């Protein structure tokens, strides 16, 4: 019974500009999405990438890295829709999974150990597991399998944050020594790390 990683990589990159930010190179010359995927796969080998249909190069790259893919249709490209599509695929492929770690494709600096710690906390009964760094809430977020129905019901631009409000007693925060949980790529200046 494993925890499944879900990498959300179907966003619009609106703040970044006209280019797909997930295909941009970081200071270490890895592409943003590849770094995010490799970190997730290092911690959770059963990981799924959620991508847009037009991101053919990204699909090839994630498949080569070892991810299973979900390709979102035009109607599934908002945060809630793509998250629900990833969970639906995870439940179908891994029905015995005990939970999910939802990671973002534009957060390439998260350490695999942090992801493992989230999965471990789910394995010992955590409901919604959230890492913090210097008191600030970050990503990725873990959800026990019992929240699958709530995650599957998400749509539009509504992400999983609503579950924090719906189930406050289930939210388990833990402090980690990983500033990467707060660092996403929103603008070209963010690529330098």
Please write down the HEC assignment for all residues of the chain.
CCEEEEEEECCCCCCCCCCCHHHCECCCCCEHHHHHHHHHHHHCCCEEEEEECCCHHHHHHHHHHCCEEEEECHHHCCHHHHHHHHHHHHHHHCCCCCEEEEEECCCCCCCHHHHHHHHHHHHCCCCEEEEEECCEECCCEEEEHHHHHHHHCCCCCCCCHHHHHHCHHHEEEEECCCHHHHCCCCCHHHHHC
> How many folded domains does the chain comprise?
1
pLDDT at residue 75 in the model: 60
| CATH code of the domain in which 142 resides | 3.90.550.10
pLDDT greater than 60 at residue 39:
yes
**Overall average pLDDT of the 84-106 stretch:** 95
**Overall average pLDDT of the 5-16 stretch:** 76
**Overall average pLDDT of the 11-26 stretch:** 71
Residue numbers of the domain that contains 97: 3-192
pLDDT at residue 10 in the model: 86
* Confidence bin at 78 (pLDDT 50/70/90): confident
pLDDT at residue 185 in the model: 86
pLDDT greater than 70 at residue 164:
yes
* Confidence bin at 148 (pLDDT 50/70/90): very high
């Amino acid at each position: 019974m494993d925890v499944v990683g879900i990498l959300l990589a179907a966003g619009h990159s609106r703040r970044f500009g006209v280019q797909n930010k997930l295909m941009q190179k970081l200071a270490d010359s890895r592409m943003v999405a590849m770094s995010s995927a490799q970190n997730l796969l290092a911690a959770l080998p059963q990981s799924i990438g959620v991508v847009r249909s037009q991101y053919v190069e990204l699909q090839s790259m994630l498949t080569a890295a070892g991810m299973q893919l979900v390709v979102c249709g035009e109607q599934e490209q908002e945060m809630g829709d793509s998250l629900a599509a990833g969970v639906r695929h995870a439940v179908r492929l891994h029905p015995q999974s005990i939970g999910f770690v939802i990671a973002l494709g534009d957060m390439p600096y998260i350490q695999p150990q942090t992801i493992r710690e989230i999965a471990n906390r789910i394995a010992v009964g955590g409901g919604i597991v959230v890492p913090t760094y210097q008191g600030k809430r970050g990503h990725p977020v873990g959800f026990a399998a019992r929240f699958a129905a709530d995650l599957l019901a998400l749509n539009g631009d509504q992400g999983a944050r609503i579950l924090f409000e719906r189930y406050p007693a289930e939210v388990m925060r833990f402090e980690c020594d990983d500033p990467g949980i707060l660092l996403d790529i929103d603008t070209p200046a963010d690529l330098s790390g």
